[in-house]
Structure 1
Amino acid sequence: MAEILLFHHAHGLTEGLCSLADRLRAEGHTVHTPDVYAGLTFPSLDDGIAHAERIGHDAVLEVAARAAREHRRADVVLGFSMGTGPAQHLAQHLRRVRGCLLMGGASTTEMHGSSWRRNVALQVHVADPDDWCSADEVGALEREVPEAEIYRYRDKGHMFVDPTLRDYDADAADLFEDRLDDWLARLDAGRAEPSRVAL
């Protein structure tokens, strides 16, 4: 079973993400949910982004670094939108990380100051199109990490996985969770090659 650090999106650590963490715990995984917003959540994405900007990028990364120090056995990182930044940063710099899943965001490895570590499995999920994560950003990471599993969800909202948000799409969220479960199982089995789950 994996020990997971789950980093929330700009709305905060919503009930939807907490429910996902609880479901993964029920399956036997250990899941930690560092809260950059210290309990605050924002139904409005604009308000959430404004709060994140007040906190600052460095503070977001510091929360991630502190969580990694506190949970020294955590070896898988999941990031949602804003949380993809700290998740990808830890995956590139923390030697014990063996798997990184990005949902609703991606950036070049150069932005995090190092190349991708080839022993780290990478899975990326994005809406297609996505106003907050461009095809160019995803494509650049895909070229840098050709073994990555990239899933694009046509005509879905940016954060379609979270049932507490307006973007939620039940069918796409179920497919995302199926792919997440399959990926974690393959990580545990040491064979995180591209999934055969159909679009």
Structure 2
Amino acid sequence: MTEIVLFHSAQGLRPGVSAAADILRSAGHTVRTPDYYGGEIFDDIAGGLRKRDALGFAEIERRVREIGAGIREPVVFAGFSLGAYAAQLLAATHPAARGAVLLHGGVTADEVTSGPWPSTVPVQVHYMERDPWIDAAEIAELNRAVTAAGAHFEAHVYPGETHLFTDPDLPGYDPDAAALAWKRVIDFVKSL
């Protein structure tokens, strides 16, 4: 059994995040879904981005680090889109981090840490090949940083152009790609 902290996207702690947590719990893991938006949820990305911008990245990072401050046991940090940024930030800097699962997101390592990527923190990334929110060059740079540190890196790219394709509560949900993604996430976490 692994502890997983699963961060929501810019759209807030929507039912799809709870559904994802249930999938991971059914595989035997303990999953926490912190809400760094204070209960606000949004039906569209535009509303979520307005909230993100109103908070600002410095405040989001402060809230994410505050969530991480209470964690003492080994943990896998995971997240959706903006939540993938949160997960990556803590995976790169938190002493209890044992892995990172980045769904629909990911940035270069130097955007989240001033030093090298930790050699004990493998990374798994999932996104659609034509997702307009993903910069494949940034994912490739993250791959280089993670593997240069001696950690394992996996990127799983799915056909399509939807951003939050694993969220069953959103119109871009792709059940086949989502099922494969969750199988891969469960296998990755089990391997840690």
The answer to whether the superposition gives a TM-score over 0.5 is yes
Once the 2 structures are TM-superposed, how far is the Cα of residue 49 of structure 1 from its aligned partner?
A: 0.4
The Cα offsets for residues 60-110 of structure 1, whole Å up to 9 and x where unpaired, read as 112221221223225110021001112111111112101111111111111
* Corresponding residue of 2:133: 132
Which 4+ residue blocks in structure 1 deviate beyond 3 angstroms?
A: none
Give the SS at the match of 2:49.
Answer: helix
Q: Is the 8 A contact 1:84 1:102 kept in 2?
A: yes
Q: Structure 1 regions of 5+ residues with no counterpart? A: 188-199
* Corresponding residue of 2:36: 36
Query: Partners of 1:45 and 1:66 in 2: how far apart?
Result: 25
Amino acid in structure 1 at the alignment position of 2:109: T
Q: Percent identity?
A: 37
Give the SS at the match of 1:123.
Answer: strand
Q: Structure 2 regions of 5+ residues with no counterpart? A: none
* Corresponding residue of 2:4: 4
Q: Is the 8 A contact 1:109 1:144 kept in 2?
A: yes
Q: Is the 8 A contact 1:8 1:82 kept in 2?
A: yes
Of 170, 173, 176, the match for 1:168: 173
Once the 2 structures are TM-superposed, how far is the Cα of residue 165 of structure 1 from its aligned partner?
A: 0.9
Does the alignment pair 1:149 with 2:154? yes
Q: Is the 8 A contact 1:5 1:74 kept in 2?
A: no
1:6-85 to 2 correspondences below 5 Å: 6-85=6-85
Q: Is the 8 A contact 1:126 1:133 kept in 2?
A: yes
Amino acid in structure 2 at the alignment position of 1:116: W
* Corresponding residue of 2:115: 114
Q: What's the Cα RMSD here?
A: 1.3
Say which is worse superposed, 88-97 or 68-77, in terms of deviation: 68-77
Q: Is the 8 A contact 1:104 1:125 kept in 2?
A: yes
Q: Is the 8 A contact 2:132 2:161 kept in 1?
A: no
Say which is worse superposed, 8-17 or 26-35, in terms of deviation: 26-35
Q: Is the 8 A contact 2:17 2:167 kept in 1?
A: yes
The Cα offsets for residues 142-180 of structure 1, whole Å up to 9 and x where unpaired, read as 222233011001214111000111211000000001101
Amino acid in structure 1 at the alignment position of 2:120: N
Give the SS at the match of 1:100.
Answer: strand
